[in-house]
Chain A
Amino acid sequence: MNILYVLIPLALLILGGAVWAFFWAVGSGQFDDLDTPAVRIIMDDDDKPPEKSES
């Protein structure tokens, strides 16, 4: 059980890293839009334009 004395502080360090990363992500505006990402995944960006016949 003594390994916990090492692992739990280690887990807390990783937790701190995760919180820092999230704060950075929020600060850089990645979470400003909470509505679009849910639908964005279903939109294809790679439609090929049809062959240009005229114009």
Chain B
Amino acid sequence: MSAGTCFHCALPVQRANEFQVEIDGELKSVCCPGCKAVAELIRDTGMSSYYELREAPQPGAGKPADDAADWQIYDRDDMLAAFAETSGATAEATIYVGGMYCAACSWLIETTLAKTTGVSSAEVNPVTHRLRARWLIDKIGLGGILATLSRLGYDPQPLAPESAARPEIAEQRAALKRLLVASLGMMQVMMFAVGLYAGDFQGMEAGMQRFLRIVSFVVTTPVVFYAARPFFAGAWRGIVARMPGMDLPVAIAITAAYVGSIYAMLSGGPAVWFDSVVMFVFFLTLGRFLEMRARHRSIDRSTALSTLLPNTVTKLATDGETIIPASQMLRGDLLVVRPGESIPADGVLTLGATTVDEALLSGEAEPLQKVPGDDLIAGSINLDGLIQMRVDKTGSDTTLGTISRMSERARYARPAFVQVADRIASYIVVAILLIAVIVATSWYFIVPERAFVITLSVLVVTCPCALALATPAAFATAGTRLSDLHLLITNGNAIEALSRANRILFDKTGTLTRGAPAIFSTVVFDDAYDEQQCLQIAAALETVSTHPIASAFSVTANDMLATDQRVVIGKGVSGTVAGRSWTLGRRSFATAGEDASEARATSVYLASKHGLVARFDLDDEIRASARPTLAQLRKLGLSLTLVSGDNAGPVRRVAEALDITESHSNCSPADKLAIIRSAQSSADTVIMVGDGINDAPVLAGADTSIAPVHGALLAQTSADVIMLGESLQPLVDGVLLARKTMAIVRQNLAWAVVYNAVALPLAAMGYVPPWAAAIGMSVSSLVVVLNALRLNRFGAA
């Protein structure tokens, strides 16, 4: 608050004008020497437009790490072998770039690396946060590239080639090729079809008609045998497994229309349906493609899991410590883990004591004490002690690896709406073919010479495009719009459930609150000091601590400097500020105080050698956006409930602050699930908003679930919707957009049904000439798509 926010990383600036950077002739304040260096580097390399083009940064994004890691280690040969593929004089590696948040970052990285000597190519994918770099071995090392990224304020992690392999890239390439074949084929065949219809309308030489049919057949064949292959493969799998899926009717419809058309072509029958075949294949392929893209978008959160582990570990051997690539670590190895490093493998603590942050796995912000003999989990952060550990499980055998695999499975689930749309469309095609046969036969007995024109009109006018597109078009547009609004949909059912929901359950920690402690009151015991001074002294002392509590003090603007700081693990910190020695921490550590702290909030005590000076009451701070968001949700007719595993005191405080009337404290996951079930049994549709492993079954039990992105990763993998950013506002937008989407889906379906109900009898009775049928079909599809695209304007006005 004191002096605005950092121009580079958007964190609060502690002292105005202490660090400044001149950009485009203007002085900008930055928060620290690190950000100053990064901003100057960006300016001096001529890339200031990064600041104009980037999206509003999340506070802290792009802030360089305080301690420059030792990147030199990556220049060693065994590191090069572990992380890069070399061929001759060049090496190539995939690097996960942490801290990227928009396309401007990828531009900055690519342009900077392109100007670095020795780097021959650098490509960044901003969606997957991966950098593919190729360089000349004798000009620059892997370490040099990583150091460059680090200087730009990013957190690079080289990926071992096996974890860099991207099956989804191969999948996307195949899908793109299929989509292109289907779309080009459709365009060509439709063009020939227009010629054939025109011929029906005004007469055509028999030779030319035959020629156009043969050409249509030639173009349709690759569409059926290449673009539509996944449908046949799916249908065959269904038959083999004796569980026919919706691919079967699709395959039957395609086959029937294709074979029927070939027969008609060879025997000179009344009509060919090649145009229906290609159009059907094209729209289904397009739907599958859009769905695949949505699925891939959610993948990277799970692959990011493996990047939480360090790439190098310090192994303790008989001849001292050596640094080895993490992939070479074996069961039984003794490792040294320094404060601030992440635990590289599942194992047992053998020497030393520390506190670890397991928030990633448990979602609990409170660090855990660990002593020799305790289990350590890969991916958790060693906060404050230098420890030794013995390795039990590595890589994919770890708890973290199991979680990755679970999320892997989750991403292959197909959104139900696509399945429904596919099924409806395929039934409709079969129905259309049947109706066409009936119409053709009937007219053959009434007016034989008109039979084939009318059959043609029926086939064209009833093309299932409008119906097949009604739902997917609206859902795809809604999905894109929601991701603009910071909600990522991982489950297609979510939109429908969001639109119906009338009750929202909120978890407290990390959802309604920030999940990090903040000071909510300060009690000063010694009259010689005021509140501000106490805070400043405490903040100065805490600068050395990596404990989460220290972050609560770091927001205080500070002119004090501490010396002789010493961290006592699990207790607190001591040091000298302004010529006096101080202790800060648990009351037993500071000195004995007079009041007993009840089960209310965590308190930290500040003491000089004359006695207790101040008490800071810490609590999880309620998000600034929580109150307005909840008020809006209430206005939308949703009833709100707070469920928390926390004690009654903090839960009541949050509930009162946010006007939530119904709150439950001390809830186990089973209790939360029971609350959801009882709400559902009274016909409520329940949205669960929460993070943390404790909530995973609860998230799955609700009709739909939303997890904030900073929460434990497991929660995200079971949540239907992932919410990005710090604000809760996307909840309101999400509910409103979901309601609008379902309204549009209903309009689209109603339109398609009415259109077909009117057009089909008219066509069957012979009132619709083929050219009018073609126009009617195109217009009806267009209406549906344009109606769906209205969702893109949601919230933009």
Contacts and interface: CB of A to CB of B under 8 A. Distances in A.
B184 A50 contact: no
B125 A43 contact: no
Interface stretch (B46-54, B253-261, B570-578): B46-54
Given A12-B215, A22-B180, A43-B104, A1 B205 contact: yes
B184 A31 contact: no
B176 interface: yes
A52 B44 contact: yes
B104 A26 contact: no
- How big is the B interface, by class? 35 or more
A50 B127 contact: no
B208 interface: yes
Interface string B161-172: 000000001001
A5 B169 contact: no
B107 interface: yes
A47 B48 contact: yes
Contacts of B48: 47
A35 B172 contact: no
Contacts of B176: 26, 31
B188 interface: yes
B103 A18 contact: no
Contacts of B212: 8
Nearest to B222: A19
B597 interface: no
Nearest to A45: B111
Given A8-B215, A52-B44, A23 B172 contact: no
Main DSSP-derived SS at the B contact region: helix
Contacts of B211: 4-5, 8
Interface residues of A, number: 31
Contact of B173 (A9, A18, A27, A35): A27
A6 to B, nearest CB: 11
B327 interface: no
A49 B40 CA distance: 11
Contacts, number: 76
Contacts of A47: 46-49
Given A26-B173, A40-B103, A45-B111, A34 B208 contact: no
B46 A26 contact: no
A42 B180 contact: no
Interface string A3-16: 01100110110010
Nearest to B22: A50
A35 B127 contact: yes
B790 interface: no
B49 A44 contact: yes
Contact of A32 (B172, B177, B192, B205): B172
B111 A36 contact: no
A15 B185 CA distance: 9
A1 B208 contact: yes
Nearest to B293: A34
Contacts of A52: 44
Nearest to B123: A33
Contacts of A40: 103, 107
Contacts of A26: 173, 176-177
A19 B176 CA distance: 11
A22 B192 CA distance: 23
Nearest to A46: B46
Q: A4, A23, A47: which has the most chain B beta carbons within 10 Å?
A: A47
B169 A32 contact: yes
Interface in B178-195: 180-181, 184, 188, 192
Interface string B205-230: 10010011001001100000000000
Given A32-B169, A33-B127, A36-B106, A42 B44 contact: no
B45 interface: yes
Given A12-B218, A50-B43, A36 B126 contact: yes
Contacts of A44: 49
Contacts of B125: 32-33, 35-36
Nearest to B106: A36
Interface string B538-551: 00000000000000
Interface string B323-354: 00000000000000000000000000000000
Q: For the complex of A and B, list the 3 residue pairs with the smallest distance between their C-beta atoms, beginning with the closest.
A: A49-B46, A47-B46, A39-B103
Interface of B: 43-49, 53, 103-104, 106-107, 111, 123-127, 169, 172-173, 176-177, 180-181, 184, 188, 192, 205, 208, 211-212, 215, 218-219, 293
Interface of A: 1, 4-5, 8-9, 11-12, 15, 18-19, 22-23, 26-27, 31-36, 39-40, 42-45, 47-50, 52
9 contacts: A12-B219, A19-B184, A22-B180, A32-B169, A35-B103, A35-B127, A36-B124, A47-B46, A47-B47
